[in-house]
Protein backbone atom coordinates (compact mmCIF):
# COMPACT_ATOMS: atom_id res chain seq x y z
CA UNK A 1 0.00 0.00 0.00
CA UNK A 2 1.34 3.39 -0.93
CA UNK A 3 2.40 5.62 1.93
CA UNK A 4 2.08 8.81 -0.04
CA UNK A 5 0.02 10.15 -2.88
CA UNK A 6 -0.03 12.83 -5.53
CA UNK A 7 -3.70 13.48 -5.01
CA UNK A 8 -3.29 16.79 -3.19
CA UNK A 9 -4.62 19.87 -4.94
CA UNK A 10 -2.04 21.09 -7.39
CA UNK A 11 -0.25 24.33 -6.53
CA UNK A 12 -2.38 27.14 -7.77
CA UNK A 13 -5.53 25.04 -7.91
CA UNK A 14 -8.53 26.75 -6.43
CA UNK A 15 -8.71 26.14 -2.71
CA UNK A 16 -5.24 24.60 -2.47
CA UNK A 17 -3.47 27.66 -1.21
CA UNK A 18 -6.34 28.74 0.98
CA UNK A 19 -6.30 25.79 3.34
CA UNK A 20 -3.22 25.18 5.42
CA UNK A 21 -2.95 21.96 7.47
CA UNK A 22 -4.17 23.58 10.70
CA UNK A 23 -7.16 25.05 8.92
CA UNK A 24 -7.90 21.71 7.32
CA UNK A 25 -8.07 20.11 10.74
CA UNK A 26 -10.53 22.77 11.76
CA UNK A 27 -12.53 22.21 8.60
CA UNK A 28 -12.84 18.53 9.38
CA UNK A 29 -14.02 19.26 12.89
CA UNK A 30 -16.44 21.89 11.67
CA UNK A 31 -17.76 19.59 9.02
CA UNK A 32 -18.46 16.82 11.49
CA UNK A 33 -20.16 19.11 13.95
CA UNK A 34 -22.32 20.60 11.21
CA UNK A 35 -23.19 17.21 9.82
CA UNK A 36 -24.18 15.89 13.22
CA UNK A 37 -26.48 18.83 13.72
CA UNK A 38 -28.16 18.44 10.36
CA UNK A 39 -28.40 14.67 10.82
CA UNK A 40 -30.42 15.18 13.93
CA UNK A 41 -33.05 16.87 11.85
CA UNK A 42 -33.34 14.85 8.69
CA UNK A 43 -30.13 13.37 7.37
CA UNK A 44 -28.38 10.73 9.43
CA UNK A 45 -24.68 11.40 9.54
CA UNK A 46 -21.70 9.20 10.19
CA UNK A 47 -18.25 10.46 10.97
CA UNK A 48 -15.18 8.31 10.59
CA UNK A 49 -11.66 9.24 11.52
CA UNK A 50 -9.78 6.11 10.74
CA UNK A 51 -6.10 6.73 10.00
CA UNK A 52 -3.56 7.07 12.72
CA UNK A 53 -1.98 10.45 13.34
CA UNK A 54 1.22 9.07 11.87
CA UNK A 55 -0.51 7.93 8.70
CA UNK A 56 -2.23 11.28 8.41
CA UNK A 57 1.08 13.08 8.83
CA UNK A 58 2.53 11.04 6.00
CA UNK A 59 -0.44 11.69 3.80
CA UNK A 60 -0.98 7.96 3.39
CA UNK A 61 -4.07 6.56 1.71
CA UNK A 62 -6.86 5.90 4.20
CA UNK A 63 -9.45 3.16 4.29
CA UNK A 64 -13.12 3.95 4.65
CA UNK A 65 -15.60 1.33 5.78
CA UNK A 66 -18.89 2.17 4.09
CA UNK A 67 -20.77 -0.91 5.28
CA UNK A 68 -22.98 1.10 7.68
CA UNK A 69 -23.74 3.88 5.22
CA UNK A 70 -27.43 3.85 4.34
CA UNK A 71 -28.94 5.31 1.15
CA UNK A 72 -29.15 9.07 1.53
CA UNK A 73 -26.45 9.24 4.20
CA UNK A 74 -23.11 11.02 4.23
CA UNK A 75 -19.93 10.16 6.07
CA UNK A 76 -16.59 11.90 6.32
CA UNK A 77 -13.08 10.56 6.45
CA UNK A 78 -9.97 12.62 6.92
CA UNK A 79 -7.29 12.31 4.28
CA UNK A 80 -4.21 14.51 4.27
CA UNK A 81 -5.96 16.77 6.77
CA UNK A 82 -8.87 17.31 4.40
CA UNK A 83 -12.48 16.19 4.82
CA UNK A 84 -13.46 13.65 2.19
CA UNK A 85 -17.17 13.12 1.88
CA UNK A 86 -18.73 9.84 0.92
CA UNK A 87 -22.41 10.06 0.04
CA UNK A 88 -24.50 7.01 -0.73
CA UNK A 89 -26.86 8.41 -3.34
CA UNK A 90 -30.35 7.10 -3.79
CA UNK A 91 -31.91 6.52 -7.22
CA UNK A 92 -33.80 9.77 -6.76
CA UNK A 93 -30.58 11.62 -5.98
CA UNK A 94 -28.88 10.14 -9.05
CA UNK A 95 -31.80 11.14 -11.23
CA UNK A 96 -31.25 14.80 -10.35
CA UNK A 97 -27.79 14.71 -11.92
CA UNK A 98 -29.10 14.54 -15.47
CA UNK A 99 -31.73 17.23 -15.04
CA UNK A 100 -31.10 20.80 -15.96
CA UNK A 101 -27.35 20.57 -16.29
CA UNK A 102 -27.42 23.91 -18.10
CA UNK A 103 -27.50 25.51 -14.66
CA UNK A 104 -24.06 24.13 -13.86
CA UNK A 105 -20.77 25.94 -14.44
CA UNK A 106 -18.87 22.84 -15.58
CA UNK A 107 -21.47 20.09 -16.09
CA UNK A 108 -19.05 17.68 -17.76
CA UNK A 109 -16.25 18.44 -15.31
CA UNK A 110 -13.90 19.34 -18.13
CA UNK A 111 -11.92 21.83 -16.09
CA UNK A 112 -12.48 20.20 -12.72
CA UNK A 113 -10.32 17.73 -10.89
CA UNK A 114 -11.16 14.05 -10.81
CA UNK A 115 -9.46 10.77 -11.74
CA UNK A 116 -10.07 9.56 -15.29
CA UNK A 117 -12.20 6.68 -14.04
CA UNK A 118 -14.56 9.19 -12.41
CA UNK A 119 -14.88 11.41 -15.49
CA UNK A 120 -18.54 10.62 -16.02
CA UNK A 121 -21.94 12.11 -15.25
CA UNK A 122 -21.79 10.79 -11.68
CA UNK A 123 -18.17 11.80 -11.08
CA UNK A 124 -17.61 8.48 -9.35
CA UNK A 125 -16.40 4.92 -9.85
CA UNK A 126 -19.80 3.55 -8.87
CA UNK A 127 -22.84 5.77 -9.40
CA UNK A 128 -24.20 5.02 -5.94
CA UNK A 129 -21.24 6.45 -4.03
CA UNK A 130 -20.00 10.00 -4.37
CA UNK A 131 -16.47 10.61 -3.07
CA UNK A 132 -15.30 14.24 -3.07
CA UNK A 133 -13.02 16.52 -1.11
CA UNK A 134 -15.38 18.71 0.92
CA UNK A 135 -13.50 21.99 0.48
CA UNK A 136 -15.06 24.81 -1.50
CA UNK A 137 -13.09 25.79 -4.60
CA UNK A 138 -13.62 29.48 -3.87
CA UNK A 139 -11.74 30.23 -0.65
CA UNK A 140 -11.64 26.90 1.12
CA UNK A 141 -14.65 26.78 3.43
CA UNK A 142 -16.40 23.46 3.90
CA UNK A 143 -19.91 23.31 2.40
CA UNK A 144 -22.75 21.64 4.26
CA UNK A 145 -25.30 19.12 3.07
CA UNK A 146 -28.59 20.40 1.72
CA UNK A 147 -29.90 17.09 0.43
CA UNK A 148 -33.62 17.79 0.62
CA UNK A 149 -34.97 18.61 -2.87
CA UNK A 150 -37.05 21.76 -3.21
CA UNK A 151 -35.72 23.14 0.04
CA UNK A 152 -37.33 26.61 0.00
CA UNK A 153 -34.25 28.19 1.56
CA UNK A 154 -32.19 27.11 -1.48
CA UNK A 155 -34.24 28.83 -4.16
CA UNK A 156 -36.56 27.45 -6.83
CA UNK A 157 -36.11 23.96 -8.25
CA UNK A 158 -33.37 23.01 -5.81
CA UNK A 159 -32.38 19.40 -6.67
CA UNK A 160 -30.45 18.69 -3.48
CA UNK A 161 -26.74 19.17 -2.95
CA UNK A 162 -24.43 21.29 -0.85
CA UNK A 163 -24.22 24.92 0.24
CA UNK A 164 -21.05 26.76 1.15
CA UNK A 165 -21.85 28.90 4.19
CA UNK A 166 -19.12 31.47 3.51
CA UNK A 167 -20.24 33.07 0.25
CA UNK A 168 -23.17 30.97 -0.87
CA UNK A 169 -21.76 28.70 -3.56
CA UNK A 170 -24.07 25.82 -4.35
CA UNK A 171 -23.06 22.35 -5.54
CA UNK A 172 -25.16 19.48 -6.81
CA UNK A 173 -25.06 15.88 -5.63
CA UNK A 174 -22.01 15.19 -7.81
CA UNK A 175 -20.11 18.12 -6.30
CA UNK A 176 -20.64 20.21 -9.44
CA UNK A 177 -20.87 23.92 -8.83
CA UNK A 178 -23.81 25.89 -10.14
CA UNK A 179 -23.17 28.74 -12.58
CA UNK A 180 -22.60 32.29 -11.40
CA UNK A 181 -21.34 31.27 -7.99
CA UNK A 182 -18.17 32.51 -6.30
CA UNK A 183 -16.65 29.02 -6.55
CA UNK A 184 -15.18 28.53 -10.03
CA UNK A 185 -14.86 24.76 -10.17
CA UNK A 186 -16.48 21.55 -9.05
CA UNK A 187 -15.39 19.94 -5.80
CA UNK A 188 -12.31 17.80 -6.46
CA UNK A 189 -12.64 14.03 -6.56
CA UNK A 190 -9.60 12.30 -5.04
CA UNK A 191 -8.04 9.15 -6.39
CA UNK A 192 -9.68 6.19 -4.73
CA UNK A 193 -10.51 2.57 -5.34
CA UNK A 194 -12.71 -0.17 -3.94
CA UNK A 195 -10.94 -2.75 -1.82
CA UNK A 196 -14.25 -4.60 -1.53
CA UNK A 197 -17.94 -3.76 -1.87
CA UNK A 198 -17.86 -2.08 1.54
CA UNK A 199 -14.34 -0.72 1.78
CA UNK A 200 -12.67 2.14 -0.06
CA UNK A 201 -9.07 3.20 -0.20
CA UNK A 202 -8.89 6.97 -0.55
CA UNK A 203 -5.78 8.62 -1.87
CA UNK A 204 -4.47 5.57 -3.64
CA UNK A 205 -2.52 6.39 -6.76
CA UNK A 206 -3.82 3.41 -8.66
CA UNK A 207 -7.23 3.92 -10.17
CA UNK A 208 -10.06 1.50 -10.72
CA UNK A 209 -13.18 0.03 -9.19
S1 LIG B 1 -15.47 29.81 0.30
FE2 LIG B 1 -17.21 28.80 -0.53
S3 LIG B 1 -18.28 30.36 -1.53
FE4 LIG B 1 -16.53 31.37 -0.77
The CATH number linked to 124 is 2.102.10.10
For atom 4 of ligand 1, which residue has the closest CA?
167
> 83 lies in a domain?
yes
| pLDDT, position 99 | 86
Calculate mean pLDDT across residues 23-46. Answer: 39
Q: Say yes or no to pLDDT of 199 above 90.
A: yes
Burial 130-165 (b: 16+ CB within 10 A, else e): bbbbbbbbbbbbbbbbbbeeeeeebeeebbbbbbbe
Supply the range of the domain harboring residue 182.
21-202
> 42 lies in a domain?
yes
| pLDDT, position 28 | 46
Task: Report the C-alpha gap between 98 and 62 in whole angstroms.
Answer: 31
> 154 lies in a domain?
yes
Evaluate: CB of 177 within 6 angstroms of ligand 1: no
79 Rama class: left (phi>0) / alpha (psi -120 to 50) / beta: beta
> 2 lies in a domain?
no
Domain count, the chain: 1
Evaluate: CB of 19 within 6 angstroms of ligand 1: no
Closest ligand 1 atom number to CA of residue 141 = 1
What does the mean pLDDT of the chain come to? Answer: 79
> 174 lies in a domain?
yes
Torsion sign (Cα): 74, 186, 132, 165: negative
| pLDDT, position 6 | 31
pLDDT digits (tens, 9 = 90+) for 120-168: 989 999 999 999 999 999 999 999 999 999 999 999 899 999 999 999 9
> 10 lies in a domain?
no
| pLDDT, position 204 | 78
> 4 lies in a domain?
no
> 78 lies in a domain?
yes
CA 204 / ligand 1 centre spacing (Å):
28
Could you tell me the pTM of the whole model?
0.75
Closest ligand 1 atom number to CA of residue 181 = 3
Calculate mean pLDDT across residues 60-66. Answer: 94
Q: Which residues pair with 153 in a beta bridge?
A: none
| pLDDT, position 59 | 74
CA 30 / ligand 1 centre spacing (Å):
15
Amino acid sequence: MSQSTDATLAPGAAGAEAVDPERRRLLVATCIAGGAASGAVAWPFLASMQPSDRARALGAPVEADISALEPGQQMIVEWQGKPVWIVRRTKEMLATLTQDTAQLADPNSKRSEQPTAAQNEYRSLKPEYLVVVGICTHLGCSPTARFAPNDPSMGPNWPGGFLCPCHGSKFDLAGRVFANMPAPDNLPVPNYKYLSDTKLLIGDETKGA
